[in-house]
Chain A
Amino acid sequence: MAYSEKVLDHYENPRNVGTFRDDNVDTSELGTGLVGAPACGDVMRLEIRVKDGMIADAKFKTFGCGSAIASSSLATEMIKGMTLDQAAQISNTTIVEELNLPPVKIHCSVLAEDAIKAAIEDYKKKHAK
């Protein structure tokens, strides 16, 4: 199976890799989504840094195939600058279209969507009180 140019680009030059843990960031600004399972062959961790209701920054790490890495890399790019509500609206089909993912790789985009939602959920939970 050939990979699309965009998948290859994100795989070889992934954007926003890492964690905010090392950056001395106020943890109340952070939300983390950890989705997937090692036994299923993919795990994504997406961290968002929220300022004034906007996603100011995002970082990820992914264990998974090239399409999973590309999907999460793309997701961090997409959500930066969005409000939490806007980011929560992102659907996996946008990622599928952007990366030209074949049907067998659609679950990678679903996982990226889940990671975004889980990160937002985590942030909101922290600030629910």
Chain B
Amino acid sequence: MSAAKSSPIEVSTPEGVQLPIFMDNHSTTAVDLRVVHAMLPFFTNHYGNAASRNHSFGWTAEAAVENARGQIAALLGGDGKEIVFTSGATEANNLAIKGAASFLKKQGNHIITVETEHKSVLDTCKRLQREGFEVTYLTPAKDGLVTPEQIVAAMTDKTILVSVMLANNEIGVVQPVEAIGAAIKARNPKCLFHTDAVQGAGKIPFDVEKAKVDLASVTAHKMYGPKGIGALWVRRKPRVRIDPIIDGGGHERGMRSGTLPVPLIVGFGKAAELAKAEMADEAERLERLRTRLLKGITAKLSETYINGSMEHRLPGNLNISFAFVEGESLLMALKDVAVSSGSACTSASLEPSYVLRALGVGDELAHTSIRFGLGRFNTEAEVDFVIDVVTKSVERLRTLSPLWEMHQDGIDLNSIQWTPH
């Protein structure tokens, strides 16, 4: 038990809690040691090129890659032959959207997506707009959800692709992809459905057949695998065709050339296998931790606002606005806890979170938002420590906040003539 030196608030570190605490599992995750152990032989002993067809080094590597394809496909409900390895999910999203748009441009030029998608989807769509494609960006409801009806209403005879993420990286909101897939295919079976499944795959049940998706992006490092390896699942029946964005030796059925990083792929496969096997238990445990975190915080603090649906949400996600306390100043107070904020001050653009904006969260609340991302290695003791440090820090920062004082005095902050800068 020790109080942090020079800290303006008194917090004690419980037995068994190691600082700093990582509670930012939407940004990345620690590699599970079981994954590391699976990978190690492929750095040292089995270092062959999976494309080498004429010696045992190559065969061993190829067999390991094929095994990993099967493990990843099993998590998604597809077939190993449908896995196209990429450098990560950003590339997978680029390949899905640019590849589909390029291949289908004679069929139509309209793409539908959602304002809360990841930047690797939104910026890819923006580039396509500059190349003559038309893109509809749907606004979700206040809880972050889009409806199948919204999507069908936006579809035209020119629509070639709909891209809707499985779960959001900031607010954890899970989209109804099965209903969306069914609605798209009912309207036009030829229109492709892509989902960025990065945050949801391995965390919640997801099946490419049930969701009727044609393309699904995933990445290893969000599911306790290594960074630097992702995949695009590309449907084979009926066959979905996309143009490559990287040309070369024709690897990955011509869709993504480049030597396969065998150790990373083996790690990805193992991570997917573990995620599938442990998903149900892990989800239950994370949801319990999240409930504890939420209750602990709201029991002690007033004027907190949850961003996004609590019902349709990843079990490990909590996104809360702490009114009257700017997010970056709170992150500074939580120096022993890794979380993130939708505050402008934490972004390069000096704009608050575009995801919260799309939900209609006011900028003044978006600036006060904190994202907690609970993961496989977080413990109850860590959650209790975080509750303690968050509540004490928010209380301290509120004593510094003129807005909190005005609120306490019953002054309507909207009645004041502010000076935006």
A pairs with B: yes
**Whole-angstrom distance from the CB of B304 to the nearest CB of chain A?**
16
Is A91 part of the binding interface, using a Cβ–Cβ cutoff of 8 Å? Answer: no
Question: A61–B6 contact, CB under 8 A?
Answer: no
Listed stretches B198-206, B222-230, B253-261, B322-330; interface member? B322-330
**Whole-angstrom distance from the CB of B405 to the nearest CB of chain A?**
6
Given contacts A12-B6, A69-B329, contact A39 B362 (CB under 8 A): yes
Which residues of B lie under 8 Å from residue A44 when comparing CB positions?
Answer: 402
Which residues of A lie under 8 Å from residue B343 when comparing CB positions?
Answer: 41, 65
Q: Quick one: which of B378-421 are within 8 Å of A by CB?
A: 399-405, 413, 416, 418-421
A45 to B8, CA, bound (A): 21
Is B367 part of the binding interface, using a Cβ–Cβ cutoff of 8 Å? Answer: yes
Could you mark each residue 1-32 of chain B with 1 if its beta carbon is under 8 Å from any beta carbon of chain A, else 0? Answer: 00000111000000000000000000000000
Question: A68–B421 contact, CB under 8 A?
Answer: no
A69 to B416, CA, bound (A): 21
Question: A61–B400 contact, CB under 8 A?
Answer: yes
**Whole-angstrom distance from the CB of B330 to the nearest CB of chain A?**
9
Which residues of B lie under 8 Å from residue A114 when comparing CB positions?
Answer: 419, 421
Is A81 part of the binding interface, using a Cβ–Cβ cutoff of 8 Å? Answer: no
Question: B7–A12 contact, CB under 8 A?
Answer: yes
Listed stretches B46-54, B113-121, B157-165, B344-352; interface member? B344-352
Which residues of A lie under 8 Å from residue B332 when comparing CB positions?
Answer: 3, 11, 65-66
Q: Quick one: which of B340-368 are within 8 Å of A by CB?
A: 343-345, 348, 350, 352, 362-364, 367
Question: A11–B418 contact, CB under 8 A?
Answer: no
Given contacts A65-B326, A66-B329, contact A38 B419 (CB under 8 A): no
Which residues of B lie under 8 Å from residue A13 when comparing CB positions?
Answer: 6, 8
Question: B402–A41 contact, CB under 8 A?
Answer: no
**Whole-angstrom distance from the CB of B271 to the nearest CB of chain A?**
31
Which residues of B lie under 8 Å from residue A111 when comparing CB positions?
Answer: 421
- Tell me the nearest residue of chain B to A108, going by C-beta: B345
Question: B329–A11 contact, CB under 8 A?
Answer: yes
Question: B402–A45 contact, CB under 8 A?
Answer: yes
Which residues of A lie under 8 Å from residue B324 when comparing CB positions?
Answer: 63
Question: B413–A62 contact, CB under 8 A?
Answer: no
* Interface-central residue, B324, B402, B413, B416, by most chain A CB under 10 Å: B402
Given contacts A17-B399, A61-B405, contact A39 B418 (CB under 8 A): yes
- Tell me the nearest residue of chain A to B326, going by C-beta: A64
A-B contact pairs, 11 of them (CB 8 A): A12-B7, A12-B8, A34-B402, A35-B421, A37-B418, A37-B420, A38-B418, A39-B364, A43-B402, A65-B326, A114-B421
Q: In the complex, given contacts A43-B403, A110-B421, what are 4 additional A-B residue pairs having Cβ atoms less than 8 angstroms apart?
A: A37-B420, A62-B400, A62-B401, A66-B332
